[in-house]
Amino acid sequence: MNDCKIKQRNEIEQKYKWSIETMYNADFVWERDYCEVKDAAVELAEYKGHLDDSALTLLEFLDKRSTAWRTLEHLFVFARMKRDEDNREAKYQALCEKAQKLAVTLSEATSFFAPELMEISKDVLNQFVRDEMGLHTYVHMLKCILREKEHILTPEAESMMAQYSEVISAPSEIFKMINNADMKFGTVKDETGKEIELTHGNYISFMESHNRDVRKSAYKAMYAAYLKQKNTLASAYNYNVKSTNLVTKLRNYDSALSAELYGDNIPEEVYTNLIDAVNEKLPVLHRYVELRKKILGVDKIHMYDMYVPLVEMKDQEKSYEECVEIVKNALMPLGWEYAENLERGFSEEWRWLDVCETEGKTSGAYSFGSYDSHPFVLLNFDGKKKYAFTIAHEMGHSMNSFYTRMYQPFIYGGHSIFTAEVASTVNEILLHNYLMENAESEEEKKYLINLQLEEIRATVIRQTMFAEFEKMTHEASAEGISLTNEWLCDTYRELNRKYFGEDVELDDEIAIEWARIPHFYSDFYVYKYATGYSAAIKIVDRIMNEGETAVNDYIGFLKMGDSDFPIELLKIAGVDMSNKEPVENTMKVFESLLNELEEMM
C-alpha cells in the first residue's frame, strides 16, 4: 500500500480496516447492553448500607459492579472507535456521549462503595475473605482502596472537598483556555519562503528544520506569545501548586510528592533516585551539546539548535506491508509465542489495525479495545519507513493488553501509567537495534544512533529536569514562597544551565519554557516517562543477554496487568526501580551511543 492519498473510508480495502464489527454487529445489541448497565446501576444502588451484611452480600455487589463496568467499557470503546473512524458522523458522536453519561450514572450509583467499605473493620473483612473464596480475587483491589483510609476525611469534609474539586481544577482549566484557545503564534517562513501559521502541532517540525533561520524564527515566535502572558501563566501555575499543597495538607500526607506517589505505592526514593542518577551523568549531556555545536558549525548553540537531527537523511518510502515485516523481524527476540500472537494481530482474519488516513478520521495513533474484545490499533500510515516505530509502539501496548486480558480478571485488566509505556518502549528499542544491525549505510547508522540519543535526551533527561523543577516548585510553595514569574523563570533558567552546560546560550525564551508544559498541571506525572524508558532499556538488555529466561520473565510481566503495585510488577521482568541501577544503566547507554557517534563523526 504505497498510495497515501487521503480517501473516503468506503474507498479503503477491508484488510486495512479494524474488525470493529466483532464488538457489535447490530445497533440493537448495543442498546440491549446499554439497558442492562442502566438497570444494573439501579440494582447496585440498593446495596448502599448493606455491604457489611455478609461475605456473600459483599461478593454479590463486587461481582455485579465488575460486570456492569465491564459491559460499559465495551459500550464506550465501540462508540469511541466508531466516532474516531469519522468524526463527522453524528450518530457515533451521540452514541459516545450516551456512553459517557451512562458512566456518570453508574459512578453516582456506586459512589457509596469506598466510604462504606472503609467503615467495615479489618477483622470483619478478613473473616469475609475466609468465608467466601470468591472474594480472594478482589483482595488486592480492596487493599488499594483501604490504603487510602487514613487520608479520607469525615463525610462532611469529603462532601465539601467534592464541591470544591471543580474550583481546585480552575488553574488547569485557565491554562488550557489560554494555551489552546487564546494564544496565537503568528506565521513562520519555511525552507521555501512560504508563510505558514505556527501551531503547537507543527512547532517541532520547524525545530527539526536544517535551516537555522527557520528554527530560530519558530522558536522566537512561539515563546514571544508566552512571554506576553508570563504573569497570567505564573499566577495560574502558582495557584495550581498551592491547591495541590493544600489538599496534601488536608489529607494528612507528608508532602505533595508523597501524596501523588501514594496511590501506586511508589517509594519517594524512586523519584529522587531518578534525579540523582541523571544529575550524576550530566557531563555526558554536556559532551553531546558540544558535539551538536561542532557538527552544526555554530559559535554558540541555542536551544533552538537542540532538536535538528545531526544527520540529514531522507526517510525511505515503504509500503505498510514492508513496515509490518520490519516490525515482525525486529521483535523476534521476544520468542515464537509472542511472534505468533503478533502475527494474529496483523492478519487479515483478525484485523487489529485500522491503517489508512481517511477523511474525518482521528489523527495520530493509539492502542485501544475492551476487556471482551481483542486489542485494536488506530494508525494514520504515512508511507515512510520511520512509521515502523509507530506500529511497533502501538503493537507493544496491544500485546500487553492481549496477554493481560488473557490471564487477569476484568478488575486487573488495565495498566498503571507507571508501567503502561514499558511494553511499547521495549518494542521501539528492539526495532532500533534491528535497524542498526541491518543498516544499509554508514549514514543510516549515524542517523539511527542520533535518533536514540534524542529519544533518551527527550524521554529520560528532559523529563527528569521537568521532575526536578516540579519538586522545587512544590517545596518552595509549601515553604511560603510565592511562585512569581521572576522566581519561576530564574529557577527554570538555572536548571537549564545545570542540565545543558555552559555551551548553551540561555536566553529569555528558554526561561519561560515552563509556561508551555501542560503536564505541570498533572502534578508529578512526567517522571513516569523517564522511569518507563529506563525499565524498558533494562528489559531489552536482559532479553539480548539472557535469552529465554529473560523473555519468559518479560511475558510474565505482560500477563500481570494491574494485579499488584507497579514496582513489584516490574520486578517480575527483572527490573527493580526502587534503586538507581536501571536509570544509571540508561545513562550508560546514552554515553555509549555518544562515544560511537563521536567516533563516526
The amino acid that residue 562 corresponds to is D
Query: 43 and 192, same structural domain?
Result: no
* pLDDT of 3 above 60: no
Same domain, residue pair 156 and 195: no
Going by the DSSP 8-state scheme, the letter that residue 450 receives in this structure is: H
CA distance 475 to 570: 29
pLDDT at 468: 98
pLDDT at 103: 93
Q: pLDDT per residue over 409-440, tens digit each?
A: 999 999 998 999 999 999 999 999 999 999 98
Q: What is the pLDDT of residues 559-585, one digit of tens each?
A: 999 999 999 999 999 999 999 999 999
Report pTM.
0.91
- pLDDT value of residue 5: 59
Q: Is pLDDT above 60 for 1?
A: no
- Residues of the chain with pLDDT > 70: what percent? 99
* pLDDT in the model for residue 167: 83
Q: Dihedral of the CA atoms 362, 366, 370, 372 (nearest 10)?
A: 110
The whole-number average pLDDT for the span 127-137 is: 96
Does the annotation mark 158 as catalytic?
no
| 126-138: burial string, b at 16+ Cβ within 10 Å, e else | eebbeebeebebb
- pLDDT band with cut points at 50, 70 and 90 for residue 507: confident
C-alpha–C-alpha distance, residues 487 and 515, integer Å: 13
Of residues 73, 85, 260, 394, which has the active-site annotation?
A: 394
The answer on 111 and 222 residing in a single domain is: no
Residues 156 and 213 in one domain: no
- Mark which of 207, 228, 249 sits at the end of a domain: 228
Supply the CATH number for residue 221's domain.
1.10.287.830
Q: What is the DSSP string of 502-547?
A: TTEE--HHHHTGGGG-GGGGSTT-THHHHHHHHHHHHHHHHHHHHT
Mean pLDDT of 197-226: 94
Name the average pLDDT for the chain.
94
- 454 has a pLDDT exceeding 50: yes
Give the residue-averaged pLDDT of 214-225. Answer: 96
Characterize the bridge pairing of strands 376-378 and 301-302. unpaired
Give the alpha-carbon dihedral of 484, 485, 488, 489, to 10 degrees: -150
Domain assignment present for residue 200? The answer is yes
Q: Answer yes or no: is 140 within a domain.
A: yes
Provide mean pLDDT across the span 163-191. 89
Contact 294, 399 (CB under 8 A): no
- Do 577 and 531 contact (CB within 8 A), yes or no? yes
pLDDT range class, residue 364, cuts 50, 70, 90: confident
> Is residue 127 situated within a structural domain?
yes
Q: What is the pLDDT of residue 25?
A: 93
Asked if residue 142 and residue 212 are part of one domain, the reply reads no
Q: Is residue 405 part of a domain?
A: no
Looking at the predicted structure, is the pLDDT value of residue 273 above 70? yes
What is the per-residue pLDDT for 181?
83
- The verdict on 99 and 133 lying in the same domain is yes
Read out DSSP for 202-224? THHHHHT-S-HHHHHHHHHHHHH
Note whether 18 and 111 are same-domain residues. Answer: yes
Residue 55's pLDDT is what? 96
Q: Residue 298 in 3-state DSSP?
A: coil
The tally of domains found in the chain comes to 2
- Which three three-digit cell numbers place residue 252? 494528612
Strand, coil or helix: 351:
coil
Instruction: Check residue 426 and give its pLDDT.
Output: 97
How large a percentage of the chain has pLDDT more than 90?
A: 86
**Domain encompassing residue 81:** 9-168
> What is the mean predicted confidence (pLDDT) over 511-534?
95
Q: What residue type is assigned to position 88 of the chain? A: R
Q: Read out DSSP for 363-393? A: PS-EEE--TTS--EEE----SBTTHHHHHHH
Mean local confidence (pLDDT), 239-251: 95
37 and 121 housed in the same domain: yes
Cα 105 to Cα 251: distance, rounded to the nearest angstrom = 27
Same domain, 25 and 156: yes
> Can you give the pLDDT at residue 389?
95
Note whether 28 and 164 are same-domain residues: yes
What is the pLDDT at residue 82? 95
Report pLDDT digits (tens) over 307-358. Answer: 999 988 887 899 999 999 999 999 999 999 999 999 999 999 999 999 999 9
pLDDT of 155 strictly over 90: no
| Statement to judge: residues 120 and 194 lie in one domain | no
Residue with cell 540529514: 312
CATH number of domain containing 159:
1.20.140.70
pLDDT tier for residue 509 given thresholds of 50, 70 and 90: very high
Tell me, yes or no, whether 58 and 195 share the same domain.
Answer: no
Q: How far apart, in Å, are the Cα atoms of 210 and each of 1, 207, 308, 569?
A: 30, 8, 6, 43
Alpha carbons 388 and 365: distance in angstroms, whole number: 12
Tell me the CA end-to-end span of the chain in Å, nearest whole number.
36
